[in-house]
Structures are given as structure tokens and as C-alpha cells.
């Protein structure tokens, strides 16, 4: 029995679906953060968030930009544009951001029409929902 539980756990983890190249175009568009979950399980809700993350991806390269929604369904743009590249490895889908001399990565945990989850190097998982004006 002691061996059975760890084996089941490993099987469940290895069966976790990964984001595929067919799904990556779903990243395009407007996303709003709903919560962040730390590795220790602590959850930080993002209620009343006034910024939207806009992703534009073309041939595995793109940019991410922070926008502030206005009442007339338009956006104010910030100067917070970050270039990125998407790659796939044995872990799954990786976004590598670059701004001047600073590079960092996030792993795409979940990506579908309505939900996006990104995991940073500290292990924090950011949960996004598709933005609806």
C-alpha cells in the first residue's frame, strides 16, 4: 500500500495535459488576472483589477502589453510592452520574455478559450480569465 499511493500520484502528475502547438493561438487577446497561487498554497485574489494584459502572438513571437479599459470599450495603453517568444520542451509550453537586458520565463500551465494559467520561476501560478468588457 505504501508504494501504491506514490505510484498513483506520479501517474496523475504525468497525465496532466500540456498545452500544445495547436492551442497556442488561443493566447492572443485580452486577459484579466483573477488570482495568484503561491507554492505554499496561499491564494491572492485580484478583485477590482483595472488593468488588462493584451497578448499578440505571430509565428511563435509576440508581445504583451498592459492596458486600462475605458468606459467606451476602448483602452488606454501603458508603456509596458514586453516582447516574447514561445517554445515547447519536455515541460510543455514556455514563454520567454525579453526587455532590454532582462529575460525571464513563464510556463503555460492551462490555455483554453476562457482560461489562462502562467507559472513563474518562483512557482507562483497566475490565473487569468478572458477579458469581457
> What pLDDT, on a 0 to 100 scale, did the predictor assign at position 73?
77
User: How much is the pTM?
Assistant: 0.83
**Residue 33's closest CA among 124, 121, 120, 116?**
116
pLDDT for residue 47? 85
Residue segments in the chain with a per-residue pLDDT below the cut of 70: 1-17, 49
Q: State the pLDDT at residue 2.
A: 56
pLDDT, residue 17, reads 61
Q: Provide the pLDDT for residue 133.
A: 72
Alpha-carbon torsion, ordered 87, 117, 109, 102, to 10 deg: 40
Q: Please check whether the domain covering 18-130 is classified as CATH 3.20.20.70.
A: no
Amino acid at each position: 500500500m505504501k508504494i501504491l499511493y506514490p505510484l498513483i500520484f506520479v501517474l496523475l502528475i504525468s497525465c496532466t495535459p500540456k498545452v500544445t502547438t495547436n492551442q497556442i493561438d488561443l493566447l492572443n487577446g485580452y486577459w484579466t488576472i483573477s488570482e495568484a497561487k503561491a507554492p505554499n498554497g496561499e491564494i491572492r485574489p485580484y478583485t477590482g483589477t483595472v488593468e488588462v494584459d493584451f497578448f499578440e502572438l505571430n509565428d511563435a513571437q509576440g508581445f504583451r502589453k498592459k492596458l486600462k479599459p475605458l468606459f467606451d470599450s476602448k483602452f488606454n495603453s501603458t508603456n509596458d510592452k514586453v516582447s516574447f517568444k514561445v517554445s515547447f520542451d519536455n515541460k510543455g509550453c514556455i514563454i520567454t520574455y525579453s526587455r532590454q537586458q532582462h529575460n525571464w520565463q513563464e510556463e503555460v500551465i492551462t490555455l483554453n478559450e476562457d482560461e489562462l494559467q502562467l507559472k513563474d520561476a518562483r512557482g507562483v501560478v497566475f490565473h487569468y480569465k478572458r477579458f469581457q468588457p
